[in-house]
Chain A
Amino acid sequence: MTWVGHSQRRLEDPPLLSGVARFAADIEFSGQLHMRVVRSPMASGRIQALEISAAQDVPEVYAVWTSEDVVDIPPIGLRMTHLPELEQYRQPVLAHEFVRYVGEPVAVVFAEDAYTAEDGAGVVFADIDPGEPVLDVRRSGTFAPGVGNEAAVLHKETGDISAAFDAADHLVELELSVGRHSGVPMETRGALAWHDRSTGVLHMYGAAKVPHYNRAAIASMLGLHLNQVQLHEGHVGGGFGIRGELYPEDVLVCAAALRLGRPVRWIEDRREHLIAANHSRDQVHQVRAAVRSDGFILGIDDEFWLDQGAYVRTHGATVPDLTAAMLPGPYLVPAYRVVGHVVLTNKTPAGTYRSPGRFEGTFVRERLVDAVAHRLDLDPIAVRRTNLIPTEAMPFDRDVDALGTHVIYDSGDYTSLMDQTLQTIPPERLRSEAAALCSDEEVVGIGAAFFVEKSGLGPYDGVRVTVDESGGVEVVTGAASVGQGVETVVAQVCADALGVRPEAVRVVHGQTDRISHGMGAFASRVTAMTGSATHYAALAVRDKALSVAAEMLEAAIEDLVVENGTIGVRGSPGGPSVSLAEAAIAMSPVVRGGDGPAGLTAEEWFRSDRMSYPYGFHLAAVAVDPETGGCRVVKYVVAYDVGRAVNPQLVDGQLVGAAAQGIGGTLLEEFVYDDFGQPLASTFMDYLMPTAAEVPDVETLIFEEAPSPLNPLGVKGAGEGGLTASGAAIAAAIDDAIGSPLAVRRLPVTPNRLHDLIRALGDTT
């Protein structure tokens, strides 16, 4: 059998189920200090003084630092989508002179236990002369004296946009906005640094997502060589884009471990997480479409404003870049132009959250397509069919760049996926099933949206596969695991290529001292990039094993097969055989002698300068109570083509989990601020995460019609497509329920907003 394609039970599960997993807060070192961050209580202002003596006097407080103690540490740099003009907006590890958002670190207290550290932090007084906060992206302000708050303006353009509008029969215009929400993993952030003075190596635990990048950044910021800094990823309680980026707290624990000479641990609390870890989304778009009378879209012209919050963090311009590049999605759109403004405000800084730029852009584009259908009195599905890129046009060159790669949709049959989905789940059946789940007070609506995702971001990933002399198989990768099933998927790929069972494969990830380079886990890249590197490395090990076994068995290599870790001659079951362990022994430096490489091991690097583009279609059915403005999603369908599903059960799990997050961002979750820039959603009582009561059963249709030609497995990433079109599909379903096309123009659709929409509808009719 082949293991790729099989719903292999996860190798990750046993420790997670039995309570022996090691999350960041589960690790401790003797003699450790606990760090507590003192955060700005104001959104904007100049620091007059930081009074720390009372904190220093608290028994068992060991040290208190302000920016004066870390003047030598540079601000946190940009990992991705670096534009030179963004440099001046980087965040210092502790606020210096100015504070720019509520939650900004202004001081840190180190103490013998976490409770005492909090006591100390509680008596640090920050004397701040308040400034007037900027909270609206379309208001100009200053970041620092002489520095404005528009950090960058992005342009992307293809085709002749003026000609498109000149030739149009109709012009459709909308203003649309997506609220501020974020990944909010269940494990808060955490970091533990320990300087091993016996070796001179600084170790940091609690790393995630991009350990190799962060090692280099920390080493550079603290003036160390790479080989003096090692990062270690343990179990990670959810990532979703926000966890694992380099934050001030990571650098502070490392600096403190070096300078205070004791291990230093920091575990974030939930309030801190909600005001200090990356926020996301938060865009306003003004979009216009030039449309022919048959519904064909000749051009799209979009201008948007992204609320970046108080600083530009590690993602640089990633979110606006992806928003702009992916805006036209699955449609031909021969001409388009996007102008994106990256604007700083006095809110928590923003970064990427699962499906960054595509959730927002898909909401905008699919609302626009619905508006076109409404204007021309056409069926919204028919308008989509008119505009979808035909499969004959694949690969399709979008003629723009995204994340430094040229956007070329690698494969796809969009119409086939949409038609098959509508045949499997006819809209009227969806409507009647939804109606059966509703009360008499509720009205039902259905909506649909199509999207293109991206995955498999390069430029490289490397894997070393080793069979040791006891027969143990180890895959070492610089990829990271944030809970999505990396170990299982990589083991399945290795199992097929090498000829072992997945359970026999131990996958090591996120350890900078085990492999020199690693790109980490983001952008739905691991299965495509790390999976491909694993495939090649395991094949190389297999080749080595076969050549040794051929000598031992006195057989031709081409006559040999590897099954379940044993090499034998094809067609001779029970005949002479060599185990992989015996092959490893034969290749050990002791046995084989001579010069040259020893051991049954191989390292392969897979490179790709293009991304792959999975695509899908969402259907939503909602029930709205017009009296209260309450809205429930009662049925949800995600159809997604992933090229090839390595583990269908895990793909299903990714899609369902992402859909739940999409429902949250569309109906519930929002980081609201008052007029003074105070965050009003700093607990789970105010930041409303979906519970099982808000998430319906999600039906997934996993397609494998368009394998990617860009990697040997044909895979495309499955991590984000369950989320991408949720805002658009649910918005369309709400319009349908309340009988008002294009009513929903702003997410999230909270009950009070929906109630206002319904009431306004009543006023006009």
Chain B
Amino acid sequence: MPDTPAIQTTGLGRSYAGRPVLTDLDLRVDAGTVHGLLGPNGAGKTTAVRILATLLAPHTGSARVAGHDVVREPEAVRRHLGLVGQHAALDEVLGGRENLVLFARLSRMSPRRARARADELLERFDLTEAADRPVSTYSGGMRRRLDLAAGLVLDPPVLLLDEPTTGLDPAGRREVWHAVRALVAAGTAVLLTSQYLEEVDQLAGAVTVLDGGRVVAAGTPDALKSSVGLDRLDVVVHDERDLDRAVAVLDALGTGTEADPPTRRVTTTVTDRTAALTGALHGLAGVEVDDLGLRRPTLDEVFFHLTTEGSRR
């Protein structure tokens, strides 16, 4: 069924003690893509993941994973899904291999297949050497890798990653990204929540931004960046005496113009990229310019822009 979305939710909602924590979430994730779920703490990201993982029942709307309804066919959903949660869900006393064999056996593999699968995953995540040491002796990065391996025991077509790199050092984060990219290239659909916006920017082709349980924006990272209209126009003049003129020119093109005399840099926020660039070139004719550029906002800026708007609502 190539047309069945890996994940599809319609009007998904959930409340705790009468307080809505997730409202009206529509989501579609296809095979071989990464969908990022962004939002501050308490935005409803983990709630959405837990509903998709059949750990929590939705109060409104519906959700399907690999074509199976999470409420009516939870067993079928569990056969198609791997979950890597915020905290490594591992048996600390057992070794890495024992953990993987346990989860493989409980996923109904024969003892022989379970052992083979465990060895395969240990090899793939570079844990063979530590396979028989208790997990309590593992580093944070090793635990994450083992947790990821545990989520992949059944080679699921759908993978839910709930803040998979929280608490990892940059090297550990890169390892996880590398593994995720390889999975996606092989056709896995990934729903990724993260508090590292850079991570979503790196991995996800589409993003949904949640705030207070509601979707405040959705689209590709690029579209989001443009939609917020937060492009920055930067000019660095060669001669400090031209600074005032540059300020005047940029101030006419954008808002919040700032000058930094030591670096001879003038920055302004613009909405129309093309008009701003042409206007700057025209207005600064005859001025010696060291650098002139339009900078897309970082996803961080977009995120804070969107979520503070959300809180003002």
Query: Does A associate with B in a complex?
Result: no
Chain A residues within 8 Å of B, Cβ to Cβ:
none
Chain B residues within 8 Å of A, Cβ to Cβ:
none
